């Protein structure tokens, strides 16, 4: 029996190389409709959510409802929060937090969702182990490219972080996080509500500070980021 894995990517540009590799080409549209790929051992449903937490939550809900995956993974770009990360490094999340969710004084901590003791959602340990192996193999066979694989927390919020002061505030509130993006916390929340394990793979595209420029991130995505994203998703087809 084939394993079903759901994949969430935010942008059509992140998914374009996936379409070529898995689906033989075609135009990618952000309609939150799962693209399906079937191999002998796995069925993959890829959904392009659109940027931000509401889009990500809506797309994940539809993915779970229509595709019924056994697990979900979010794959895409992110900004580095710690000084030891560089552009091109790979982050495998062990947990995720919505840094801009604040129910205080109803809850004790910033980022704490209703009814939870911790602000963090925990990623699936089996998926973490798989992604570490995939990332390590990818780095070892990537033509001499210097790339690091890190495991740590991911911060999610509904804004592009391009201000060092905000970056420092996120780290002050959540010292366990190492990168920041705009979807994974919402995906994790929907998955947890539906009893579906989830994981997060992020490629560092910028430093989440005053050096951020849209052109540089777009250039990195077109040059290398989308290729890495495609290789992670393609690895699922060999399970």
CA-based angle 197:200:201, to the nearest 5? 145
CB–CB of 158/181 below 8 Å?
Answer: no
Written in H, E and C, the secondary structure of 139-151 is: HHCCCCCCCCEEE
Paired residues of 201 in beta bridges: 75, 92
Residues 6+ apart with CB under 8 A from 87: 80, 204, 205, 206, 207, 220
**Catalytic residue flag (residue 14):** yes
3-state secondary structure of 44: strand
User: For the chain, what percentages of helix, strand and coil (3-state, to nearest 5) are there?
Assistant: 35, 25, 40
Determine which one of 43, 71, 181, 206 is catalytic: 206
Strands (E), the chain: 3-9, 35-38, 42-48, 71-80, 90-98, 121-122, 149-156, 177-181, 198-206
Q: What are phi and psi of 213, to 5 degrees?
A: -135, 140
- DSSP letters, 58-89, are HHHHHHHHHH--SEEEEEEEEEE-STT--TT-
**Catalytic residue flag (residue 163):** no
3-state secondary structure of 39: coil
| Residues identified as active-site | 14, 206
């Amino acid at each position: 029996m084939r394993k079903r894995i759901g994949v969430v990517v935010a942008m059509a540009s992140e998914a374009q190389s996936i379409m070529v590799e898995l689906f033989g080409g075609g135009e990618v549209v952000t309609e939150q409709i799962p693209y399906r790929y079937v191999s002998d051992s796995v069925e993959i449903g890829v959904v392009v959510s659109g940027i931000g937490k509401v889009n990500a939550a809506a797309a994940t809900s539809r993915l779970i409802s229509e595709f019924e995956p056994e697990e979900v993974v979010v794959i895409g770009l992110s900004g580095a929060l710690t000084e030891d990360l560089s552009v091109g490094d790979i982050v495998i999340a062990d947990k995720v937090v919505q840094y801009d969710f604040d129910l205080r004084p109803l809850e004790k901590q910033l980022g704490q969702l209703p009814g939870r003791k911790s602000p963090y959602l925990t990623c699936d340990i089996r998926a973490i182990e798989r992604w570490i192996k995939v990332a390590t193999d990818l780095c070892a066979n990537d033509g001499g490219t210097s790339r690091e694989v890190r495991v740590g927390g991911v911060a999610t919020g509904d804004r592009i972080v391009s201000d060092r002061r905000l970056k420092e505030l996120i780290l002050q509130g959540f010292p366990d996080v190492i990168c920041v993006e705009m979807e994974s916390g919402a995906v994790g929340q929907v998955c947890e509500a539906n009893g579906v394990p989830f994981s997060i793979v992020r490629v560092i595209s910028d430093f989440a500070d005053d050096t951020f420029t849209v052109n540089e991130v777009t250039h990195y995505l077109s040059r290398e980021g989308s290729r890495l994203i495609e290789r992670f998703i393609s690895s699922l087809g060999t399970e």
